[in-house]
Amino acid sequence: MELLNLNEQEQNRRNALQELMKLGINPYPAEEYEVNADTEEIKNNYKQELGNFDNVSIAGRIMSRRIMGAAAFIEIQDEKGKIQVYVKRDEICHGDDKTLYNTVFKKLLDIGDIIGIKGFAFITQTGQLSIHAKELKLLCKSLRVLPIVKEKDGKVYDAFSDPELRYRMRYVDLIVNPQVRDTFVKRSKIISTMRSFFNEHNYLEVETPILQPIPGGATARPFITHHNTLDIPLYLRIANELYLKRLIVGGFNGVYEFAKDFRNEGMDRTHNPEFTVLEIYVAYKDYNWMMNFVEEMIERVAMNLHGTTDVTIGEHSISFKKPFKRLPMLEAIKEYAGVDVTGMDESQLRETCKKLNVPTDKTMGIGKLIDAIFGEYCEKHLIQPTFITDYPVETSPLTKRHRSNNDLTERFELFVCGKELANAYSELNDPIDQLERFKEQAKLKDKGDDEAMFIDYDFVRALEYGMPPTSGMGIGIDRLTMMMTGAPSIQDVIFFPQMRPEFTEHKKND
């Protein structure tokens, strides 16, 4: 597929590019352009009576223009917003040579071009804050036409709203849809708030391998590749859990990592094959402590982002003020499905699923059958932040058994608006039990469960050296950002979500 499929307007821009070069104007200059103010700074601080911002140098993209003979008004946009610029022919030209204005500005510059402006701030007769241009410099010629939104008689035209185009051409989305930029600014603030929270507790930020010989730490289907020099298969990590716990074995009391994880699974409004997760592990703590820690952290994120713990997510008003509700998984099933599955074996659970019209398959064991009932009947009711606790052993192979019920584990998941947001354990540190759990996972894999865990013998060896009692937690940054910004899809909070390629350079060698 050819990249250049030009319409008439885009061909005209290329013609303008050639004309600029003939006039000796470099449309892509290399030298630094010094910027001493941005649009937000000027708008927030300009005082007409003070006459400040009398020597402004700004740069931005032309978003609109109105030419009125020997003068013009343009609107430029920088990272912080938009501002009007007044351009007068006789003030930006030198002597009798009016080429810069009559030819370059009026005929060869277009909406989308990036320019530098030097001048002073003032208020127009209509009361609009503007920059009076004394100098104008072309910094980058745009060869594609922006889908600038137009409004007429209350109707919006040419809006860049098609989701596929927006995700595929995020660079255009960021230019013409200012609210998109705000979402990603908030995403960055969420991460920085969490990082500050962890650092206040003196926990260490670390990095662990993305390419792993064994895809451990979660039940998921991995991406697989091959390392030529070592001649071994490698996997993109599905989780960083087992490496972080190795660091706890090594003597760190608290470690955390903002990690890119990869799972070769389905894509929908809440799942992308590449996603960001925060995992943290703290020695000498349990899952009860971690629940308190998590709700305090999320409350702070909401306050720093919105100035309140009340956040609107879709049609729901969600309160992130601690404490959050806590509900054991089996109690939730009893409450919402009307059945007590406590102590049921696999055949009884299959019969229960059949009665409840819960889909199952032959690869599912006790834990996944219980989880299927929970997913079908309970999750949709968990609107306000709720910790679901005490999961079956079969679905929690890295979790310590419950101190009062050997069939359950000390695990919780945090649900908000019917979606899982965080997952945490009292970490299993018994190497013998851990090896047996891995072996049970291997049996599930033999049974056809391609999400079951591999046996990680090195991790078992690490536990044999001794890991202190530890609590660990993982939270999806993409999903947290969705909730905190009201974004309807995970693709709205990832700059470049995974999509089928539009262009391909791969050709078969015949």
Token readout for 386 is: 């709720």
Question: Concatenated DSSP letters for 329-398?
Answer: HHHHHHHHH----TT--HHHHHHHHHHTT----TT--HHHHHHHHHHHHTGGG--S-EEEE--BGGG-TT
**What confidence category does residue 156 fall into, taking pLDDT thresholds of 50, 70 and 90?**
low
Q: What is the mean pLDDT of residues 399-418?
A: 95
CA–CA–CA angle 58, 61, 67 (5° rounding)? 95
- Domain membership flag for residue 112: yes
Task: Check which CATH number belongs to the domain holding 83 and give it.
Answer: 2.40.50.140
pLDDT at 508: 45
- Domain membership flag for residue 75: yes
CB 278 within 8 A of CB 257: yes
CB 444 within 8 A of CB 363: yes
pLDDT at 155: 63
Strand partners, 352: none
CB 98 within 8 A of CB 77: no
Whether 184 and 142 map to the same domain: the answer is: no
DSSP 3-state helix, strand, coil percentages of the chain (rounded to 5)?
Answer: 35, 25, 40
Whether 267 and 399 map to the same domain: the answer is: yes
Strand partners, 205: 256
Q: What are phi and psi of 499, to 5 degrees?
A: -145, 160
Whether 134 and 202 map to the same domain: the answer is: no
Answer yes or no: is pLDDT of 329 > 60: yes
d(CA 89, CA 104): 11
Whether 205 and 131 map to the same domain: the answer is: no
Write down how long the chain is.
Answer: 510
pLDDT at 492: 96
Token readout for 283 is: 């020695």
In sequence order, what are the residues at sequence separation of 6 or more whose Cβ sits closer than 8 angstroms to the Cβ of residue 505?
A: none
Answer yes or no: is pLDDT of 509 > 80: no
The closest of 476, 468, 471, 457 to 216, measured between CA atoms, is 457
Helix (H, G, I), strand (E, B) or coil at 129: strand
d(CA 167, CA 498): 9
Q: Are strands 274-283 and 254-262 parallel, antiparallel or unpaired?
A: antiparallel
pLDDT at 430: 95
- Domain membership flag for residue 67: yes
Q: Could you tell me if residue 106 is left (phi over 0), alpha (psi between -120 and 50 degrees) or otherwise beta?
A: alpha
- Domain membership flag for residue 257: yes
CB 379 within 8 A of CB 319: no
- Domain membership flag for residue 337: no
d(CA 393, CA 433): 11
d(CA 377, CA 353): 11
Across the chain, mean pLDDT equals: 93
Token readout for 98 is: 């009016």
Whether 194 and 142 map to the same domain: the answer is: no
Token readout for 190 is: 């969420």
CB 249 within 8 A of CB 466: yes
Answer yes or no: is pLDDT of 477 > 80: yes
pLDDT at 296: 98
pLDDT at 496: 95
pLDDT at 442: 84
Whether 272 and 412 map to the same domain: the answer is: yes
d(CA 401, CA 389): 12
Answer yes or no: is pLDDT of 313 > 80: yes
Least confident of 61-65, 104-108, 373-377, 498-502: 498-502
Report the number of distinct structural domains present in the chain: 2
- Domain membership flag for residue 233: yes
Whether 129 and 193 map to the same domain: the answer is: no
Q: What are phi and psi of 311, to 5 degrees?
A: -130, 135
Give the pLDDT confidence of 228-239 residue by residue, as tens digits.
999 999 999 999
Whether 57 and 201 map to the same domain: the answer is: no
Token readout for 117 is: 């402006």
Give the pLDDT confidence of 427-466 residue by residue, as tens digits.
999 999 999 988 988 887 787 777 778 899 999 999 999 9
Answer yes or no: is pLDDT of 510 > 50: no
Task: Check which CATH number belongs to the domain holding 266 and give it.
Answer: 3.30.930.10
Whether 57 and 124 map to the same domain: the answer is: yes
CB 61 within 8 A of CB 105: no
Whether 184 and 110 map to the same domain: the answer is: no
Tell me which of 505 and 188 has the higher pLDDT: 188
CB 248 within 8 A of CB 470: yes
Output the pTM of the full model: 0.90
Q: Are strands 71-78 and 155-157 parallel, antiparallel or unpaired?
A: unpaired
Whether 400 and 270 map to the same domain: the answer is: yes
Give the pLDDT confidence of 60-70 residue by residue, as tens digits.
999 999 999 99
Q: What is the mean pLDDT of residues 386-411?
A: 93
- Structural domain of 95: 8-146
Token readout for 38 is: 């941005």
